[in-house]
Structure formats: C-alpha cells, structure tokens
C-alpha cells in the first residue's frame, strides 16, 4: 500500500518541527505561485483566472501521491507554451486537454510505461527548453512595451514588434524595465547572501531572514509594488499603464470538463476536438512527466531519496484529471517553485497543502485587487523566470563531448521557433535515427595474425548482422594466405532469430570457401540460443586463448 500511497511513508512519523517548516515553505511558495500563475495564463493565451484555477489541485494531490518532498505541481512556462499551441486560446480545449492528458498519464503509470522518457535525449530537451526560453521571453516584450494586437507566431511576432516599436507606451516600458531590474537584483542578492550562523546576534539573524524572504518572494513584492504604482495613478485620474483588468472572483465550479464546444456555426463534437489537438495528446503528457521527473531527480540526488517515474505518472495523472474538474489547464512540476520549496526547508509534501490553501484564499477574496496589476509587471515576472532556462553552454559542451549530438539539439532548437510540436517530434526522430544507426553499424575490430580475429564492439541486433557478414567475408577473402576466423562474442549479451539466420548463412558462405569459423567467449544466454539452433559447422571455445 505504501508503494501506491506514498503519504503513508512519512505521515506516521510526522512531527511538530516538520509542521513548522512545512507551513513556512508552503507560505513562501504560495507568495511565488500566485503572481506566476497569473503571468503563465497570459503565456497560455487564456484568461488570467485560469492560472489560479490550475495552481491548487496539484498541490493537494501530490501531497498524497508524490514521492519527492520538494516538488510542487502547477502551471509552468513550458506547459503554458504547449497549451497555447494545442488549446487554441480556448478554455474548453485547455480543460479537455488537461483531462485527456491526465487519463493518458494515469494509463501509462498503471502500465509501467515510464521508461518511454528514456527515449527523449538530453540534447532534445535542452534544444526545446532553450528555444522555449527565447519564444516565451519575446512573447512578453509586447507587454513590456505596451503594444496591442501583436500576433503570437514567433516570426510574425518579431517582425510586428520591430515594425511598431515606435508605438511603445513610455509608462509600460519604464515600469517593465524597472521590474526586470528589481527581479534581477533580488535574484543576485539571494545567490550571494551569506548564511547567518546561530551564534550571531539576533539582529543579524533577523536581517538575514528579512533579506532572504524578500529575495525569495521577489515576484510577489514586485507585483505588489507595481500594483500600488498603478493604483496611485488611478486615484490621480490618469493611467499611463496597461492593467490586467477584472478577474472573476470566487472558486471555480467543480464539474466535468465539456466534451463539446459551442461555435458560431454549430457545435464542435468531441471527436473533432481530439483531432484538433492531434499530437498534443502525446506531447503534453510526456513533457509534463519529463519536467516533473527531471526536477524530482535533481532534488532527490541532493536529499538521498529515490524517484519512481511510474508513481510520478500516477500522481500527475490524478492531478490533471481532478484539476480538469476545477477548470485547470495541464500542470507539471515547476523548477523555480521547487527550488524555493527546498530552500525554505520543506520536510514533506504537506507543504503543498499550505500553498494550495493560499491560492484558494486568493481566488476567494483577493481577485478584485488583481485588477490593478500592470501587464508589464507580469511580463517581467515571466521573463525573469524563463531566461535562466536558456543554456548557452550546452553547445560548447556537446562540441567537446560528442559533436553528433549537436544535430538533434539544433534541429529541435530551430524547429521549435516554427511550431513547438514539430521541434520536439523532429528532435526525437533524429535522436532515434542516430541511435538506430549505432545499433545497425556497431564498431567491428578485425585483427590479423595466425587467425583472423573479429571483435564486435557492442551487442549484436538484427540490423547489424549484414554489416558483420560483409566485414567478415570481405576481410576473410582478402586475407593472404587464407586463415581461420574467430568471432569473439564477449560483448554480445543477446541475439535474436534474424542474427541466428545471418550467422547460419555466414557459416555456409565461409564453408564454401574452405574457411573455418569458430566462436569464443560466448555468454550463456547466447550459447544456449546457438546450441538450440543446431547450426551446421558450429564450433565454440570458452575463451580466445583456447581457440
């Protein structure tokens, strides 16, 4: 039971000391998630309240089903970008995408399909996140400059922004740049803040706590400051800033997602909505899990606990399914908020209960105050959050380690500017082709001496048997004088039927030329397969020396 319900692992040992730290961490993360949620809804192309609707259910579900104490589920920049691509800025599509993604993740978890993540290589992930960082950042430039009517497609967006830069609203630009500078300064301050020792005076420890809290909750502080500035202008009767506007107050209704949508020319049925979302039904669940598992593993390695991808799939699946009942768009783990959670000293996933409760209170009582939040301030929050996702050093590292990995990286990076789904799919395909090529053309070392020693450098699978046959035959027939051939199988751990057929044909071909072929260093599973195949002329020796 503990394996499927991780809360039972830590709840019996829960203590008052843990509660104090979890409450502090939950409040700190809550101050971060509220402004980010509003900002990420803008990235997703949805009304801002949907960011808050997406920010509490994941916190509650992960408390019961999550395996990592630090991870917080909610809207993220990457997931918001994907939602903008596949939900077409329609809340009904976004909520249905959440439900279907949750069902797919739940099914994958029950079928133990978490290993599928292993086929998404690091260069593909880095290419996608780096392109997303640029795309999302530039998408917010229009709000920093106060421009209206800018298209969302990246290349058109760049063209229109540059063409209309003369229409920049001075108030929005000044406030946006000031918020960016403040966020950057607070981030640097936090990274250089020395730890206050317990032996230091009370005043020093209080100063450290104030500075640390201010730097950690910098998003909330900047948005609060910008809101006060906007309210001051409103009271004075002039408003040079573009405001967020009215946000519906109250909690979202608890209801099933709509499986059809009303349109001006009729009703869009469920089947058409699924066809419209297309490959998004595969990309969104996988990328959601990928973000969560990558974040969980990063923090698990620092805290010495193990992450089960299949259990994370179950947690994500339930979180998205239940989230769709409260009008959430797809959610995943957030690296920034998880880092805040860990640095705040969270002890268990119960910290998420506090964060979720704070979001609910904001929805119930504070939405009227969100009217005065300038769009430029929310844009600054988004840009500050996504800029660190761009990893410029990955190009240099891959050049030094393996230059061929630059191919899927660059393919993914460039195509993601056109359409996100094309970049991810193309990157995975290129990585798969490179992987299959290495399987089909394994390194084969041939040494000439008294005998011709052939050593495959990796395991032998059916695409590689023709390459092996061609190499052995060409070298054996070219050798002068003719000599015996030994196939050293020390690196071969398994073979399939196609390989057995290919080895049979190789033995027959060499026998016609009067050249004997012997096998050595066969591992037990391979030996048993070859013996059961009853190959004509099959000889084997335990080691190369005995051969």
* Same domain (yes/no): 238, 328: yes
In this structure, the answer to whether residues 371 and 513 fall within a common structural domain is no
Tell me whether residue 259 is in a domain: no
Question: Residue 284: inside a domain, yes or no?
Answer: yes
As a whole number, mean pLDDT of residues 376-402 equals 89
Domain contains 403: no
Question: What pLDDT sits at residue 264?
Answer: 86
pLDDT-derived band at 304 (thresholds 50, 70, 90) equals low
Of the candidate ranges 26-35, 243-252, 297-306, 506-515, the one whose mean pLDDT is the lowest: 297-306
Statement to judge: residues 374 and 477 lie in one domain? no
Percentage of the chain surpassing pLDDT 90? Answer: 49
Residue 438 has pLDDT above 80, yes or no: yes
CA-CA distances (angstroms) from residue 190 to 9, 195, 303?
33, 10, 21
The length of the chain is 547
432 in a domain, yes or no?
A: no
Give residue 353's pLDDT: 95
Least confident range of 156-165, 414-423, 494-503: 414-423
More confident residue, 335 or 66: 66
306, pLDDT greater than 80: no
Residue 214 buriedness (CB in 10 A; 0-12 / 13-18 / 19+): middle
Residues 454, 341 share a domain? no
- Given a cut of 70, is residue 303 above it in pLDDT? no
Asked whether residue 305 carries a pLDDT value surpassing 70, the answer given is no
User: What ranges make up the beta strands (E) of 449-537?
Assistant: 452-456, 485-488, 517-520
Instruction: Provide the domain limits for residue 525.
Output: 444-541
The rounded percent of the chain whose pLDDT value lies above 70 is: 97
Q: Do 195 and 116 sit in the same domain of this protein?
A: yes
Average pLDDT, the chain: 89
Are residues 137 and 44 part of one domain?
yes
Confidence of residue 545 (pLDDT cuts 50, 70, 90): low
Backbone angle region of 283, left / alpha / beta, with phi > 0 → left and psi within -120 to 50 → alpha: alpha
> What mean pLDDT do residues 73-92 have?
92
Mark whether 343 and 448 lie in a shared domain: no
DSSP reduced 3-state for 537: coil
Whether pLDDT at 354 is above 90: yes
pLDDT of 327 reads: 96
In a domain? residue 173? no
Count up the domains in the chain and report the number: 2
The model's pTM is: 0.79
Task: Please report which confidence band the pLDDT of residue 178 belongs to, taking 50, 70 and 90 as the band edges.
Answer: very high
Task: Kindly state whether residue 102 falls inside one of the protein's structural domains.
Answer: yes
Is 530 a domain residue?
A: yes
pLDDT at position 302 is 57
pLDDT in tens, 361-376: 999 998 988 899 999 9
Query: Are 452 and 533 in a shared domain?
Result: yes
Q: At what angle do helices 375-386 and 218-236 cross, to 10 degrees?
A: 160
Residue 439 lies in a domain: no
- Taken in order 292, 295, 299, 304, the sign of the CA dihedral is positive
The answer to whether residue 529 scores a pLDDT higher than 60 is yes
CA–CA separation, 249 and 216 (whole Å):
27
């Amino acid at each position: 039971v503990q394996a499927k319900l991780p809360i039972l692992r830590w709840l019996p040992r829960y203590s008052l000391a843990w509660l104090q730290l979890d409450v502090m961490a939950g409040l700190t993360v809550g101050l971060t998630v509220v402004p980010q949620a509003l900002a990420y809804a803008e990235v997703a192309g949805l009304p801002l309240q949907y960011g808050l609707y997406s920010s509490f259910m994941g916190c509650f579900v992960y408390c019961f089903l999550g395996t990592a104490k630090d991870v917080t589920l909610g809207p993220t920049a990457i997931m918001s970008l994907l939602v903008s691509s596949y939900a077409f800025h329609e809340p009904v599509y976004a909520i249905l995408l959440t439900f279907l993604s949750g069902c797919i993740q739940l099914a994958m978890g029950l079928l133990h399909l978490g290993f599928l993540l292993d086929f998404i290589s690091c260069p593909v992930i880095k290419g996608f996140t780096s392109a997303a960082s640029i795309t999302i950042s530039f998408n917010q430039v229009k709000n920093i400059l106060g421009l209206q009517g800018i298209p969302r497609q990246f290349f058109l967006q760049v063209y229109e922004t540059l063409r209309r830069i003369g229409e920049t609203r001075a108030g929005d630009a000044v406030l946006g740049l000031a918020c960016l500078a403040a966020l950057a300064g607070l981030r640097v301050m936090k990274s250089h803040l020395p730890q206050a020792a317990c032996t230091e005076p009370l005043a020093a420890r209080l100063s450290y706590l104030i500075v640390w809290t201010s730097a950690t909750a910098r998003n909330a502080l900047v948005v609060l400051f910008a809101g006060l500035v906007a309210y001051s202008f409103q009271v004075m009767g002039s408003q040079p800033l573009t405001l967020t506007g009215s946000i519906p107050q109250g909690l979202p209704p608890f209801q099933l997602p709509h499986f059809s949508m009303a349109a001006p020319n009729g009703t869009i049925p469920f089947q058409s909505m699924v066809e419209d979302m297309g490959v998004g039904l595969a990309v969104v669940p996988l990328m959601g899990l990928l973000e969560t598992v990558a974040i969980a593993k990063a923090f698990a390695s620092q805290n010495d606990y193990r992450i089960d991808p299949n259990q994370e799939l179950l947690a994500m699946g339930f979180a998205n399914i239940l989230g769709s009942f409260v009008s959430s768009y797809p959610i995943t783990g957030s690296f920034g908020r998880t880092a805040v959670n860990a640095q705040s000293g969270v002890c268990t996933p119960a910290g998420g209960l506090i964060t979720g409760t704070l979001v609910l209170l904001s929805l119930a009582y504070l939405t009227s105050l969100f009217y005065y939040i300038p769009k430029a301030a929310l844009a600054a929050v988004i840009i500050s959050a996504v800029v660190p996702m761009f990893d410029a050093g990955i190009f240099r590292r891959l050049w030094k380690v393996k230059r061929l990995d630059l191919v899927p990286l660059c393919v993914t990076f460039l195509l993601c500017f056109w359409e996100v789904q094309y970049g991810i799919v193309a990157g995975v395909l290129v990585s798969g082709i490179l992987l299959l090529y290495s399987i089909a053309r394994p390194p084969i070392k041939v040494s000439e001496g008294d005998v011709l020693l052939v050593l495959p450098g990796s395991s032998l699978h059916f695409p590689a048997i023709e390459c092996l046959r061609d190499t052995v035959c060409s070298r054996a027939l070219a050798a002068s004088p003719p000599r015996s051939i030994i196939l050293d199988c020390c690196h071969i751990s398994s073979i399939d039927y196609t390989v057995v057929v290919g080895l049979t044909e190789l033995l027959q071909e060499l026998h016609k030329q009067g050249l004997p072929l012997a096998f050595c260093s066969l591992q037990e599973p391979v030996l048993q397969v070859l013996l059961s195949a009853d190959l004509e002329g099959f000889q084997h020796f335990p080691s190369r020396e005995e051969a």
